[in-house]
Amino acid sequence: MAKRTNSWVLEQAGVNRSLLANAKSGKLRYFGHIMRGKDKSLEKGIIIEGNLPGSIKRGKPRTAWIDNVTSWMGLKLEEAVRKVDNRSAWRTAIHSVAYPRIEDG
């Protein structure tokens, strides 16, 4: 009847959960899903062009969604879009970016 916390159970199992890793993985998987879609979809147009109608706000520009994807992958947008077509290679790339091995740094 001993009470065990989730963190204790995960530590005993040797599992390391990270919120940032889950967010990266989800964002990269969604990017692949959108880029494999139809050519004229609204989401794909917004991601590639990256601008919406309206005035430009003052101050430091916000980090764009696509900037996160390109910086995490270490690729230019065109290279990332080409890489998305091979699904197994894309999954491997996502996993290596979101969950890097300790030996890799």
What is the distance between the alpha carbons of residues 52 and 56, in angstroms, rounded to a whole number?
10
Judge whether residue 75 has pLDDT over 80: yes
Give the tens place of pLDDT for each residue, 3-57: 888 888 878 887 777 788 888 899 999 999 888 887 777 777 777 666 666 777 7
> What's residue 14's pLDDT?
76
